[in-house]
């Protein structure tokens, strides 16, 4: 989209601050209710200088092949957007369940990925200091996402 006009910055900053505080409250409420956090906490990310939730950023060579990999840094606004998406999904699920309790669909996931395809990625993963590059472990971790 188009650039935001500077006169709108103060109001936009206020609105984003409200949404960020709301997202923090929603997340805390979800976690107290038993939600599982699949990525590192913000405190761990800052302490370790790591990226957010295992997302990786690849540097490519002239042929488009990966030459380096590093964790992608997650900003608080990313967590805010994610939390608001969870809120929207929860609201839709509650509506569908209330309106059509016997007709709602449940999305399921395919079996976890096979470790066979993780050789080079595992090497890059380990070289980037992201933990074990064991293909079986990586496939198991990827199979829990979703």
What are the sequence ranges of the domains in the chain?
A: 1-39+77-105, 55-73+108-146
Does position 47 have pLDDT exceeding 50, yes or no? no
* pLDDT at residue 141 greater than cutoff 90: no
HEC readout, the chain: CCCCCHHHHHHHHHHHHHHHHHHHHHHHHHHHCCCCCCCCCHHHHHHHCCCCCCCEEEEECCCCCEEEEEECCCCHHHHHHHHHHHHHHHHHHHHHHHHCCCCCCCCCCCCCCCHHHHHHHHHHHHHCCCCCCCHHHHHHHHHCCC
Give residue 25's pLDDT band: very low, low, confident or very high (50, 70, 90).
very high
Give the residues across from 57 on adjacent strands: 70
Task: Judge contact between 22 and 36, C-beta under 8 A.
Answer: no
Average pLDDT for 13-34 = 96
Q: What is the mean pLDDT of residues 58-83?
A: 89
pTM as predicted:
0.55
pLDDT computed for residue 6 by the predictor? 94
Confidence of residue 48 (pLDDT cuts 50, 70, 90): very low
In contact, 76 and 15? CB cutoff 8 Å = no
Range 95-121 average pLDDT: 76
Scanning the structure block, which residue is given the tokens 């490519």? 60
**pLDDT band at residue 86 under the 50/70/90 scheme:** very high
* Residue 67 scores a pLDDT above 80: yes
Q: Percentage of the chain with pLDDT > 90?
A: 36
* 56: β partners: 71
Structure tokens at 133: 């590059």
């Amino acid at each position: 989209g188009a650039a935001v006009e500077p006169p709108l910055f103060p109001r936009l900053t206020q609105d984003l601050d409200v949404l960020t505080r709301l997202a923090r409250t929603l997340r805390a409420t979800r976690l107290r209710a038993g939600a599982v956090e699949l990525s590192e906490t913000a405190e761990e990310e800052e302490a370790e200088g790591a990226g957010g939730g295992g997302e990786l950023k690849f540097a490519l060579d002239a042929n488009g092949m990966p030459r380096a990999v590093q964790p992608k840094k997650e900003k608080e606004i990313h967590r805010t957007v994610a939390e608001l998406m969870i809120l929207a999904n929860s609201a839709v699920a509650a509506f569908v369940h209330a309106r059509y309790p016997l007709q709602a669909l449940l999305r399921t996931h395919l079996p976890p990925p096979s470790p066979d395809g993780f050789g080079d990625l595992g090497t890059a993963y380990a070289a980037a200091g992201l933990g074990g590059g064991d293909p079986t472990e990586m496939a198991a971790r990827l199979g829990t996402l979703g």
